[in-house]
């Protein structure tokens, strides 16, 4: 009898497995329907021997020191500041939009203060900022919005930015200085030996078993367990009974080139041209030295593995219905990007999993839990 059946070996599932096994001595089974651990953060060496990210570029960044400290138990880090260029009007210029972006695109020589005024002249007055269009046009005006955001967002999400919650494009700041880093967080690092090695270390407790290529739907009634942590799509857990929650998918085209370097930075975005949104060259992320180089092209898709919740009001409304069901389902905890339908970065998922562990510890003190299990018998607690 397992104390916990954890569905999904990504950040949400692995952090909880680690905490429950190592902090409480609980017996944990982690299952994943894929053939590897790590969820979307999984990385591997390709045929040429280059470390690549199977599901697109994953860069760790956070302002939360406790989250970094927690993960530091399982990996060493390599400092890495992410930089991205966008190919606009035939030039590759920095994104987030900054002083150099505007000067290069328009052949100007503005200083930071002048750029503030330049933006202010172009910014549109928006009464209430609700959508992903509002966020950008109210800061930099319609022309830059159309060059950098409208096409990319339509490609990535299959809908116009005016139909997406403001939180989507608000992920990308606008700067009036020359800072060309993609993220502004205090801590920006990559796991020194890759994400998969870090996950192996998290899941190394003798109290944790891992079963891959195992779908919850096939084994939920076969594996004796007391409680469940579910990190897959929440609508799938409930048999889509209120209808499907939309998730955006991607197709990843991984290629290796017989050249040492392909592009000037780790990621180049294509907001105006191409069917793909961006191209990633992994050597920048990993620091690997190799005579060849490996890249990933990302092609957005409506169907396929669910990667992104789609933040818009009607989807949030549908999610709330599932959330209500989830709250009424005893002995199952829903955690992670797909199960809580949140466009979370890795650090936010780790934070959410650690908070869930604290809630579990309060609800089920380790000793009391054992006593409760003994007195009630296993069946009474199995959901």
Report what 8 binds from ligand UDP, ligand FAD, none; CB cut-off 5-8 Å by kind: ligand FAD
Between 35 and 379, CB nearer to ligand FAD: 35
> Do residues 16 and 6 touch, judged by C-beta distance below 8 A?
yes
| Phi, psi angles (nearest 5°) of residue 246 | -70, 135
Cβ-proximal residues to 285 (8 Å cutoff; 6+ apart), any chain: 53, 57, 59, 80, 82, 190, 266
Radius of gyration for the chain, computed over Cα atoms and rounded to the nearest angstrom? 23
| Segment holding 45, helix H or strand E | strand 43-45
Our finding on whether 349 is near ligand FAD (CB under 6 A) is yes
> Do residues 74 and 204 touch, judged by C-beta distance below 8 A?
no
Minimum gap (Å) between residue 193 Cβ and ligand UDP = 23
Q: Is 303 exposed, middle or buried (0-12, 13-18, 19+ CB in 10 A)?
A: exposed
Q: Select from 89-97, 143-151, 167-175, 339-347 the region that touches ligand FAD (CB under 6 A).
A: 339-347
Question: DSSP alpha helices (H): ranges in the chain?
Answer: 11-24, 65-71, 99-106, 112-122, 132-140, 142-144, 151-157, 195-202, 216-219, 234-237, 282-286, 313-327, 346-363, 366-376, 378-381
Minimum gap (Å) between residue 90 Cβ and ligand FAD = 26
Our finding on whether 32 is near ligand FAD (CB under 6 A) is yes
In this structure, what DSSP letter does residue 83 have?
B
> Do residues 245 and 236 touch, judged by C-beta distance below 8 A?
no
Our finding on whether 346 is near ligand FAD (CB under 6 A) is yes
Question: Partners of 190 in the beta sheet?
Answer: 78
Between 85 and 202, CB nearer to ligand UDP: 85
Our finding on whether 310 is near ligand FAD (CB under 6 A) is no
x/- string (CB under 6 A) for ligand FAD, residues 242-281?
Answer: --------x-------------------------------
Between 50 and 86, CB nearer to ligand UDP: 86
Size, binding site for ligand FAD by CB under 6 A: 34
For ligand UDP, the binding residues in 73-92 under the rule CB under 6 A are: 86
Our finding on whether 280 is near ligand UDP (CB under 6 A) is no
Q: How far apart are CA 113 and CA 176, in angstroms?
A: 8
x/- string (CB under 6 A) for ligand FAD, residues 56-95?
Answer: xxxx------------------------------------
Which parts of this chain interact with ligand FAD (CB under 6 A)? 7-13, 31-34, 39-41, 55-59, 215-217, 231-232, 250, 307, 336-338, 344-347, 349
């Amino acid at each position: 009898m397992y104390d916990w059946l954890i569905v999904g070996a990504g950040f949400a599932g692995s952090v909880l497995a680690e905490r429950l096994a190592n902090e409480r001595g609980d017996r944990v089974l982690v299952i994943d329907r894929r053939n590897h651990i790590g969820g979307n953060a999984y990385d591997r060496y390709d045929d040429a021997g280059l470390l690549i990210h199977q599901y697109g570029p994953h860069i760790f960044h956070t302002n939360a020191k406790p989250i970094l400290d927690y993960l530091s138990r399982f990996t060493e880090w390599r400092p890495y500041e992410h930089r991205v260029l966008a190919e606009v009007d035939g030039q590759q210029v920095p994104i987030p939009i900054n002083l150099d972006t505007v000067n290069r695109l328009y052949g100007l020589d503005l200083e930071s203060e002048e750029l503030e005024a330049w933006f202010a002249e172009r910014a549109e007055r928006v009464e209430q900022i609700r959508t992903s269009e509002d966020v950008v046009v109210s800061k930099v005006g319609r022309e830059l919005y159309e060059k950098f955001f409208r096409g990319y967002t339509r490609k990535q999400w299959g809908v116009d930015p005016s139909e997406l919650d403001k939180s989507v494009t608000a992920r990308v700041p606008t700067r009036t200085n020359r800072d060309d880093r993609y993220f502004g967080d205090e801590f920006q690092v990559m796991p020194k030996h890759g994400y998969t090695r870090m996950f192996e270390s998290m899941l190394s407790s003798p109290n944790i078993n891992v079963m891959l290529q195992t779908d919850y739907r096939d084994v939920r009634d076969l594996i004796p367990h007391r409680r469940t942590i579910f990190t897959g799509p929440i609508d799938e857990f409930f048999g889509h009974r209120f209808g499907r929650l939309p998730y955006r998918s991607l197709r990843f085209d991984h290629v290796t080139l017989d050249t040492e370097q392909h592009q000037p930075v780790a990621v180049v975005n294509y907001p105006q041209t191409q069917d793909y949104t961006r191209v990633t060259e992994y050597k920048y992320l990993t620091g690997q030295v190799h005579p060849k180089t490996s890249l990933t092209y990302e092609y957005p898709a409506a169907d396929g593995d669910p990667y992104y919740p789609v933040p818009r009001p009607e989807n949030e409304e549908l999610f709330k219905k599932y959330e209500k069901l989830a709250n009424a389902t005893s002995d199952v905890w829903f955690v992670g990007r797909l199960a809580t339908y949140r466009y979370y970065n890795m650090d936010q998922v780790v934070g959410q999993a650690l908070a869930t562990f604290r809630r579990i510890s309060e609800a089920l003190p380790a000793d009391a839990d054992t006593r409760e299990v003994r007195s009630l018998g296993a069946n009474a607690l199995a959901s």
